[in-house]
Homo-oligomer: A and B are copies of this chain.
Amino acid sequence: MKGLIKNVKLVRDAESEVMDDGMIIYEGNLITYAGKRTEAQGPFDQIIDGKGCIAIPGLVNCHCHAPMVILRNIANDMKLEDWLFGHIIPIEARLAGDDYYWGTMLAACEMISSGTTCFLDMYLDMEQCAKAVIDSKMRANISKNTLTSDSRIERGTLFDKQGYESFLKEYHGAANNRIRVSMEIHSLYLYDYDRIKESVDLAAETNSTIHIHVLETADEKRSLESKFGKRVLETMEELGMFRVPVIAAHTVHVDDADISFMKDKRIYPVHNPTSNLKLGSGISPVDKMLKEGICVCLGTDGAASNNNLNMIEEMHIASLIHKGVHRDSKLMSARETFRMATENGGKALGFPIGKLERGYLADIVLLDETGFHNVPGSGDPIAQIVYSMQGSDVKTVIIDGETVMRDREILCMDTERIKAEVKRIRKRLEI
């Protein structure tokens, strides 16, 4: 399979100059050329005319709980603790079987149609999630818990080493390497120290990246510091976490000392601005972390606290809030948030993605810039993407060299059935 995208405005990455007359060639699942229009060496199995479009690397959603789309809009305008323990967890206990599959399939439709090609997920039944990733043709890093599936309700349940190892064996590198496996350790607050230590050691043994919620709320910070008698990041180090890369979702309540501590660690903080705002958790000092050279990524969190999975919206909010809060309009430029949502995400998730460049995987998104809100369309295209554009401007999506959405039609999934299945699940849950 050899593909050509011609006549396209080309945003190769957050730094490079945008090319008005760009061209992309990909062979199999790899980009072989991305640059100015040149004499293309055919024949091509597929030619896409990119006229009126901006080509960007597929967006990378670095913290998601895909099946939570099932719980969209059930609980709003309330505190994280009330939301999580009063509403979400009791309903999650009633999810079962292929609920997780259909939830992930709907999430995949939503992500693809708003420009996301790769995501990092943690939830309850990751077998079902993996099956959905395979069927949806998305790329994903799937975080598997080593504790039993009831572990989010009953603390300190059994450590399931064998379950983790067999999942790793089955899915790490599966689907033409579209899937990588990492280890979920939900947080420091849901489990006993010894259970966490066992998991961390297994992560080190299997060289698995750890995906964890860190310092999301002020209450979490207070209670963990009081429980362990030290800073949360120090507890993580004591547990040996930084022997492997750690993807740390939220990191809202970090101070200057925490940021300084992070500098020589293999840590990828994930900014989830919408969820942190909506749950009243606070605002992560992302601008400071970026200034210190820390590789901060961007994520939507689950749709129950967002309430959608739209990375274009997430870039928009990430670029806006810090400027306003710190009264400094130079903070968090459009290019910085674009880098978080592309290149930085690729680094954290361990895939060669996030740039349109020879040797990178062919995960490509075409954004239609003909809508009213994009006219007149000149100026800075990356600022246009971040400040003006909408998820609905995503026109065509290629993942791993395969066109999964064309002219806003998803090609690889039965979208009407997926919607119907999720509605059926919601009806069964009586919420």
Query: A77-95 interface mask toward B, CB cutoff 8 Å, 1 = contact, 0 = none?
Result: 1111001000000000000
Residues of chain B within 8 A of A328, CB atoms compared: 280
Which residue of chain B has the shortest Cβ distance to A110 in the bound complex?
B372
Q: Is the CB of B274 within 8 A of A308?
A: no
Residue picked from A69, A280, A423, A425, most chain B C-beta under 10 Å: A280
Q: Is the CB of B69 within 8 A of A325?
A: no
Q: Is the CB of A376 within 8 A of B426?
A: yes
Residue picked from A83, A279, A376, A380, most chain B C-beta under 10 Å: A376
Within 8 A of B (CB), among A360-404: 370-373, 375-380, 383-384, 387-388, 390-392
How many copies of the shown chain assemble into the complex? 2
Residues of chain B within 8 A of A317, CB atoms compared: 317, 320
A339 CB, nearest partner CB in chain B, Å? 14
Q: Within the assembled complex, what's the spacing in Å between the Cα atoms of A282 and B307?
A: 25
Q: Is the CB of B277 within 8 A of A323?
A: yes
A107 CB, nearest partner CB in chain B, Å? 8
Say yes or no: is A209 at the interface (Cβ < 8 Å to chain B). Answer: no
Q: Is the CB of A73 within 8 A of B384?
A: yes
Query: A271-310 interface mask toward B, CB cutoff 8 Å, 1 = contact, 0 = none?
Result: 0011011111111000000000000000000010011111
Binds B, one of A179-187, A221-229, A329-337: A329-337
User: With A308-B388, A324-B321, A329-B80 in contact, do A375 and B69 touch (Cβ < 8 Å)?
Assistant: yes
Which residue of chain B has the shortest Cβ distance to A382 in the bound complex?
B76
Say yes or no: is A327 at the interface (Cβ < 8 Å to chain B). Answer: yes
Residues of chain B within 8 A of A283, CB atoms compared: 324-325
User: With A281-B324, A324-B282, A373-B110 in contact, do A329 and B77 touch (Cβ < 8 Å)?
Assistant: yes
Query: Beyond the given A72-B376, A303-B373, A375-B422, could you list 8 further A-B residue pairs with CB under 8 A, ordered by the A residue number?
Result: A70-B376, A77-B329, A77-B334, A273-B324, A280-B327, A282-B324, A303-B388, A378-B431
